[in-house]
Structure 1
């Protein structure tokens, strides 16, 4: 027997046995289903000013009362949200901060369940944010790279903002972020964030431009210590293709010093010419980030500035022609991604990718209700679980995951 969950004014979580839990599947409020135990690393958030909604004994959705606030969870890396929290709100309340809110429920033991499905069980294998040795590791690397401003910035990101990819820079494992303070060329609507909750909820944008030598020093040190991938274009900055000259110089320096490791960029694909330059300079791997594979929806959610969806498609084609490793990063939301036209577009785009390409699925960070209202689609949603089944069936050549994987080096 599952129970609705709410928070009181002091932030305490309460289970309401008289009401079954509710969720929004993108089309409407329905009983909570398909939950998984809330795992270590998931974040619980009180939606202050939003009245929790449950399912009464007659099967109808009902607000639980004005002082009973809705509760949501942020799934840990490697899981994909399958339903949104159900709540009632006054239209005068400010929009929620753009996060990847998922519905929650309480089970018979009082434990919380989250509306999420695992897609990449290995995604957290190298999560060192809680490693007790992290401060010592940071001290060692800063000692090896004295005066390197990028290393100092990564230390701040790892310590103060608990960024997974920044922490990796000091452990010599997996992927490492290389923020370069690139400017942005997307202006999404207020309830939407195209960046989201991948490695951290960024609260401080990368604020300085490192030199190519500073970038190369961090990257080469990461590979020498056992790391496998360095990445431009993480959540704390704008569009790396707008810093193509700096990245081009850094890539050439890295490859002049080492042949190991994967050099990766995550991009919106806004400048095919810049992407070609980076590939020529030694880029190994490209991930193109999309909230939709349909031009109309893409431009509404991304708010492209100085480019159009056609440029994104051209960049994907450029990566295919250059035979670099390619991933599509699809930002997923119930009520958006699981509609027929959206799925058709994803599958059609996937058909253009070489076998072995990756499909990276991440939750779209947004204010759920206001984003659904913004899209105003009348097309029925089939549910995220069914959408995943269709993608796996119709695009079997793609490897589905939550993180870009490094190239295998022989």
Structure 2
């Protein structure tokens, strides 16, 4: 399990002597064999800017910073895999923040790269290598020609071709889960927002926020084009927009118009669910799936990250429970981070939250954040830290009726 590091030109090396280590919360830790899997297809190795690699001498057991102009290396995992540890590193400039990605510890072992992670879902549907870029370009051109006045298709074409967003790409390839963003505004100020950041945040938003309010007809056109197979999912709420429920009127009218024309496929919303009245109305309009973003079931932690405007975690819980009671297949988009999510108090709170709301699926999503910035933002640990691998075992044992996954699924039982 040797240390992996990179030079300033991006060339990656494995150290002949030092072992690779990892990070859980603020602690540097030794990696165990059963916490490693081969680097998955679709994963990317990246250098961590403003860092020095840290390895462990296997003889003395001491950790040491690698001398020279080298960077620590992390892996960016595709959907379907849950990170167990962050890379071990030492920052050379603590005022600088990492780009907003989810960095996973990586080592060299048995002639290949291994990562500190576990498979939590089937990675095949969301493997970026399964997206044919040539076919995508043809389908983008076809739909832009079919709907020349649809501003949403133009926006999504940029997301698909420039950002290589798989959900946007699916919209043109008309497969799996497609995207229909509707909102340029938000009722939260998420610390790690990927589409809008304050000038003084130190982060660069990796995506461009939607800048216009789509017409209902534009939304309906995209939904009807996508909902053509029983397994199709079309989703409000994307990384390139704000909170979709702020545009509840548009969503409600679009759902009603679509369901007047077809009953095929599933209509989903990815939301913070803070606007309880709006969420209730959207649910009643004919919503099939709801995925609620959260980072914690503890108020202090939730508020520190989301910075909610005009709502609380109680509103989120209320929205989830209402949707579950109405037969919506509910899930959470659980933003997880090693050394935080696996804290004793976090685990206990989330188990009770899941039981109270009746949610059906927990989507484990690796939080894209600078570790030091995030840890300085949230409350310190109060109890034992169990480890991410153990956390998954606990959830499966304590919540046997809740699916542990990585992305949105159609319900396991088909509609009648």
TM range (shorter): over 0.9
1:214-363 equivalence runs, <5 A: 214-224=218-228, 228-354=232-358, 357-363=360-366
Task: Tell me: CA distance 1:225–1:322, structure 2 relative to 1, closer, same or farther (3 Å).
Answer: closer
Instruction: Name which of 367, 376, 388 aligns with 1:373.
Output: 376
CA distance in 1, matches of 2:69, 2:119: 33
Task: Tell me: CA distance 1:194–1:319, structure 2 relative to 1, closer, same or farther (3 Å).
Answer: farther
Unaligned runs of 5+ in 2: 197-204
| Counterpart in the other structure of 1:5 | 4
CA contact (8 A) 2:78 2:127 kept: no
Residue 121 of structure 1 and its aligned partner are, at CA, apart by 1.5
| Counterpart in the other structure of 2:114 | 113
CA distance in 2, matches of 1:353, 1:311: 12
CA distance in 2, matches of 1:62, 1:105: 16
Deviation larger for 271-280 or 368-377: 368-377
Matched, 1:40 2:44: no
Residue 350 of structure 1 and its aligned partner are, at CA, apart by 1.4
CA contact (8 A) 1:25 1:83 kept: yes
Q: Tell me the matched-pair count.
A: 401
SS in 1 for 2:318: helix
Task: Tell me: CA distance 1:193–1:377, structure 2 relative to 1, closer, same or farther (3 Å).
Answer: farther
CA distance in 1, matches of 2:124, 2:110: 29
Matched, 1:23 2:22: yes
SS in 2 for 1:39: coil
| Counterpart in the other structure of 1:132 | 134
CA distance in 2, matches of 1:372, 1:278: 35
For residues 341-383 of structure 1, give each alpha carbon's deviation from its aligned partner in whole angstroms, at most 9, with x where no partner exists: 100011111112447x111111111111232233322533111
CA contact (8 A) 2:4 2:107 kept: yes
CA contact (8 A) 2:183 2:246 kept: no
SS in 1 for 2:134: coil
Residue 228 of structure 1 and its aligned partner are, at CA, apart by 0.8
CA distance in 2, matches of 1:145, 1:223: 17
Task: Tell me: CA distance 1:194–1:339, structure 2 relative to 1, closer, same or farther (3 Å).
Answer: farther
CA distance in 1, matches of 2:55, 2:332: 36
Deviating beyond 6 angstroms after TM superposition, the runs of 4 or more aligned structure 1 residues are none
CA distance in 2, matches of 1:116, 1:156: 32
CA distance in 2, matches of 1:139, 1:370: 41
Q: TM-score, with normalisation over the residues of structure 2? A: 0.91
SS in 2 for 1:184: coil
CA contact (8 A) 1:83 1:334 kept: yes
Deviation larger for 42-51 or 128-137: 128-137
CA distance in 2, matches of 1:205, 1:266: 16
CA contact (8 A) 2:49 2:98 kept: no
Q: TM-score, with normalisation over the residues of structure 1? A: 0.92
Instruction: Name which of 154, 157, 176 aligns with 1:155.
Output: 157
| Counterpart in the other structure of 2:217 | 213
Task: Tell me: CA distance 1:178–1:126, structure 2 relative to 1, closer, same or farther (3 Å).
Answer: farther
Residue 226 of structure 1 and its aligned partner are, at CA, apart by 6.8
Residue 202 of structure 1 and its aligned partner are, at CA, apart by 4.3
Residue 91 of structure 1 and its aligned partner are, at CA, apart by 5.1
Residue 98 of structure 1 and its aligned partner are, at CA, apart by 2.3
Residue 123 of structure 1 and its aligned partner are, at CA, apart by 5.2
CA distance in 1, matches of 2:118, 2:64: 26
Instruction: State the superposition RMSD in angstroms.
Output: 2.1
For residues 19-40 of structure 1, give each alpha carbon's deviation from its aligned partner in whole angstroms, at most 9, with x where no partner exists: 0001012251122232211122
Unaligned runs of 5+ in 1: none
Residue 266 of structure 1 and its aligned partner are, at CA, apart by 0.9
Task: Tell me: CA distance 1:310–1:253, structure 2 relative to 1, closer, same or farther (3 Å).
Answer: same
Task: Tell me: CA distance 1:89–1:126, structure 2 relative to 1, closer, same or farther (3 Å).
Answer: closer
SS in 1 for 2:178: strand
For residues 306-357 of structure 1, give each alpha carbon's deviation from its aligned partner in whole angstroms, at most 9, with x where no partner exists: 21112112112221232211112211110111011100011111112447x1
| Counterpart in the other structure of 2:200 | none
CA contact (8 A) 1:120 1:401 kept: yes
SS in 2 for 1:17: strand
CA distance in 2, matches of 1:126, 1:330: 20
| Counterpart in the other structure of 1:399 | 403
